Amino acid sequence: MPTLTNGTWVLIADGEKALFLRNDLDAINPDLNVVRLEEQDNPSTREQGANRPGRQADTAAGQRSAMEDTDWHALAKDRFADEMADLLYKYAQKGAFDRIVLVAPAPVLGEMRGKLHKEVTGRVVAELTKDLTNHPLDEVEKLLKAELDPKL
């Protein structure tokens, strides 16, 4: 059975931006339309950190070692994946979709997969480890059709 049937949702995410799309036609001629767009302002860790990394005294007299600074950028990406998983759960509870395709780079997909509620995981029909957030929708349609339903 084709993956991109009418009404199938597609979530395209990269840790800072997410597109919730719905296929309004069929697998042969996918027509993806934006249901929701989520973006997160996530500057680099250097821009987010307020202070220099801390230092701690070593056991030898007069020596100090630098402590590793928190990676705020990575933490924000993890939180964003959590938020997308929560949004998907809310949409699933409302019956907004019966089938969904998840498209994201491997780290984001892995983080999100670990947070998805079973009500959402039961509706996932495919996962693609790709970053398509900055592609035009017509190109995304072609890429997904070729990747998910190559026989069509």
pLDDT at 148 over 80: yes
Domain-embedded: residue 23: yes
Q: What is the pLDDT of residues 87-127, one digit of tens each?
A: 999 999 999 999 999 999 999 899 899 999 999 999 999 99
Q: Which residues contact 98 (CB under 8 A, 6 or more apart)?
A: 7, 123
Domain-embedded: residue 31: yes
Domain-embedded: residue 35: yes
Domain-embedded: residue 53: no
Rounded to two decimals, the pTM is 0.79
Distance in angstroms (rounded) separating the CA atoms of residues 27 and 94: 24
Query: Can you give the residue range of the structural domain that contains 117?
Result: 9-42+69-148
Domain-embedded: residue 57: no
Task: Report the pLDDT value the prediction gives residue 7, as an integer from 0 to 100.
Answer: 97
Q: How many structural domains does the chain have? A: 1
Domain-embedded: residue 14: yes
Model confidence band, residue 42 (pLDDT cutoffs 50, 70, 90)? very low
Domain-embedded: residue 131: yes
CATH code, domain carrying 133:
3.30.420.60
pLDDT at 1 over 60: yes
Model confidence band, residue 50 (pLDDT cutoffs 50, 70, 90)? low
Domain-embedded: residue 3: no
- 152, 4 in Cβ contact below 8 A? no
